[in-house]
Amino acid sequence: MLEIRDLSASIDGKPILNGIDLVVPTGEVHAIMGPNGSGKSTLSYILAGREGYAVTGGEVRLDGVDLLTLAPEERAAAGLFLAFQYPVELPGVGNANFLRTALNATRRARGESDLDAVQFLKLARAALRDLAMADDMLKRNVNVGFSGGEKKRNEVLQMAILKPKFAILDETDSGLDIDALKIVAGGVNALRGPGFSALVITHYQRLLDHIVPDRVHVLAGGRILRSGGPELARALEESGYAALGLEAVSEDTAAMAAP
């Protein structure tokens, strides 16, 4: 279970999150929607432990573990996974080496033994097949020369291999055509079960047709302004944020949200 209590944060002294309360019980998938600059990506980065943000109040616990005091790798070891909105390119780092290093680091944190190259390849090839990805994806450098859709699939591949307890998908649907969207959604749905929960950040209802959330939250101005069932996402899609009394924030604020 992920518990976010009264979380406030700022970048360079400018408040971005203003008291977020959000609980995602184990086994559930929640969606966060919201206008540009509402703080969605800031929330995902703060959960994952990226530098450059000042947490000014509140707490975040994953199954009781205080995440905010942990280094990014310790959060990953605790079972957290962030599918990046903009996955970085790692020239010179082979995808297979990267995935195996990450998997073995995760396994060690769980008290499991390392997988050797053969065991890893077997597991990785199965995961690639499930995501309709070519085997040569493993030979390429991480995200280098990948299309937008390939990068997002590579994020979901990492998630499928690392099997986190809690995943944050930050606009994983952006840049995907409908076929890729279905594949990515299938990858997320395959992980759904009593030991997995997720926070899906998106602008569009489209993704939520394929990853049907248990709850939908609307984030604006750094706060959760409304929560509801999947019907809330459809209402937003039809009438927009303004109809719900939610003002889109100004471009300035939107720019500030990206450090």
Applying CB under 8 A, the residues found at the interface with other proteins are 48-51, 71-73, 75-77, 81-82, 84, 87-88, 90-93, 98, 101-102, 105-106, 109, 158, 162
Q: Which is nearer to other proteins, 75 or 215 (CB)?
A: 75
- Closest CB 35 distance from other proteins, rounded Å: 25
Q: Which is nearer to other proteins, 101 or 119 (CB)?
A: 101
- Closest CB 144 distance from other proteins, rounded Å: 10
- Closest CB 44 distance from other proteins, rounded Å: 10
Maximum distance among all Cα pairs of the chain, rounded to whole angstroms: 56
Beta bridge partners of 83: 169
- Closest CB 228 distance from other proteins, rounded Å: 30
- Closest CB 159 distance from other proteins, rounded Å: 10
Q: Which is nearer to other proteins, 47 or 208 (CB)?
A: 47
Q: Which is nearer to other proteins, 6 or 73 (CB)?
A: 73
d(CA 222, CA 225) in angstroms, rounded, equals: 9
Torsion 233-238-243-249 (CA) sign? positive
Closest of 18, 19, 16 to residue 6, by C-alpha: 19
d(CA 224, CA 216) in angstroms, rounded, equals: 10
Q: Which is nearer to other proteins, 10 or 104 (CB)?
A: 104
Pairing relationship of beta strands 54-62 and 65-66 according to DSSP bridges: antiparallel
Q: CB–CB of 29/211 below 8 Å?
A: yes
Q: Which is nearer to other proteins, 168 or 233 (CB)?
A: 168
- Closest CB 220 distance from other proteins, rounded Å: 26
d(CA 241, CA 220) in angstroms, rounded, equals: 9
Pairing relationship of beta strands 141-142 and 65-66 according to DSSP bridges: unpaired
Q: Which residue has the tokens 């990267």?
A: 98
d(CA 8, CA 6) in angstroms, rounded, equals: 6
